[in-house]
Amino acid sequence: MTEPPMSIPLLEVTGLKTSFTTPRGTVKSVDDVSFSIAAGKTLGVVGESGSGKSVTSLSIMRLVGRGGGVIDDGAIRLNLPGQPGLDIRALDEKAMRKVRGNDIAMIFQEPMTSLDPVWSIGDQTIEAIRLHQDVSKNEAREKAIEMLRLVGISAPESRVDDFPHQLSGGMRQRVMIAIALSCRPALLIADEPTTALDVTIQAQILDLIRRLQKEIGMSVLFITHNLGVVAEIADKVAVMYAGQVVEEGPVRTIFSAPRHPYTVGLLKSIPMPGGMRVDDAGSRRLDTIGGMPPNPLALPAGCRFAPRCSLAIEDCHKAPPPLVQAGDEHGVRCIRWQEVSK
Ligand SMILES: Nc1ncnc2c1ncn2[C@@H]1O[C@H](COP(=O)(O)OP(=O)(O)OP(=O)(O)O)[C@@H](O)[C@H]1O
């Protein structure tokens, strides 16, 4: 077995299409999405509710089937160091379970889904640690306590023996994060993991993710509504709109020179001083993007953002814009990208 060269990304998603059949028609939740994540790097995926962020991550985990979804097309490759690349779509369920337990961990907003109610939180964390690190039971317990402390559980020495029902929702969420990170996965998929937590704990958890990333070279796919969080944690950004990536690039490029009108709108709605406007009455307000995302059952024939876009011209409504290169590693799905500025 030969180790993949450094240039091969840990995760490569190419032309991914995932749909759901509903009584009202087929919803193309993810429609030709491509991106890659290098080892040890973080890709932030941003976009409004319903843009396909979660379905993208569930597709990578091959968990869309449970919700009635089907991966219709595309390739998902996981290139673990020292191993031949894995074709995620072709794996049997047993092999896929192994990937989910060992190589890709996922943390979501809702914690109750994955904590086992009959085991203490300590035992669940210890189990995860011992599965992936060669340590004694006592050492694992110490590490579990440390991990619980790191995710902001107070008095972890005593809380370690609590059962999930003894904890609040926010606490359970933090335990889930501790367990996911204890597995030392090659890839962490974090789907809005900190949205429901207060800002101090959010910052602590982002810090913990970053630290582990350095320590074990973990790659992260970080899904969020919040571009502020992306600025803090991501190396690259993919902006999703109505099932497609409309802009992608290095985080600095996306923040300093966005080329898609939707990205510009998102940047203006970041709750930071730079994103605030002073209107005529002198009060500070956030800009929001007017209008609504399209109905996924009746997508526009042309650019999906055109109905909300102040730059849209007749051509934008005629045909879907291709993803073009606007610069080094910078892709944009807009025919007027050269006229777009912050
Ligand atoms: N089980 C399902 N059945 C039918 N449609 C679904 C299902 N799950 C997701 N969808 C549809 O797929 C599209 C993308 O949903 P997805 O959850 O990926 O969005 P999202 O960007 O993650 O949103 P949020 O930020 O609210 O989580 C939406 O139109 C959604 O209604």
Closest-CA residue, ligand 1 atom 14, reads 52
Instruction: Report domain extents, the chain.
Output: 11-234, 258-339
Measure 54 CA to ligand 1 centroid, in angstroms: 7
The predicted-structure confidence for 160-172, as pLDDT tens digits, reads as follows: 999 999 988 778 8
- β-partners of residue 308 are none
Structural tokens at position 142: 């110490």
Exposure of 220 in the CB half-sphere (CA atoms within 13 A): 31
Task: Check pLDDT > 50 for residue 285.
Answer: no
Q: In the structure, what pLDDT confidence band is assigned to residue 291 with cuts at 50, 70 and 90? A: confident
Residue 312: what pLDDT? 95
Q: How many angstroms separate the first and last alpha carbons of the chain?
A: 48
Task: Compute the Cα dihedral for 236, 241, 245, 249 and give only its sign.
Answer: negative
For the full predicted model, state whether its pTM sits above 0.90: no
Pocket test for ligand 1, best of 19, 31, 46, 51 (most atoms within 8 A of CB): 51
Average pLDDT, the chain: 87
Pocket lined around ligand 1, Cβ cut-off 6 Å: 20, 22, 27, 29, 47, 49-55, 67-69, 225, 296
Residue 7: what pLDDT? 75
Residue 281: what pLDDT? 41
| Spatial distance between the Cα atoms of 247 and 228, rounded to a whole number of angstroms | 17
Measure 50 CA to ligand 1 centroid, in angstroms: 5
Residue 278: what pLDDT? 44
Closest CA to 250 of 327, 151, 148: 327
The predicted-structure confidence for 80-137, as pLDDT tens digits, reads as follows: 988 899 999 999 999 998 898 789 998 876 644 578 889 999 999 998 888 878 899 9
Task: Check pLDDT > 60 for residue 183.
Answer: yes
Structural tokens at position 72: 């219709």
- β-partners of residue 14 are 75
- β-partners of residue 26 are 21
Amino acid at residue number 236: K
Q: Does domain 11-234 match CATH 3.40.50.300?
A: yes
| Spatial distance between the Cα atoms of 254 and 12, rounded to a whole number of angstroms | 21
The predicted-structure confidence for 240-265, as pLDDT tens digits, reads as follows: 999 999 999 999 999 999 999 999 99
Residue 274: what pLDDT? 46
Share of the chain above pLDDT 70, in %: 90
Determine the average pLDDT of the residues in 6-31.
93
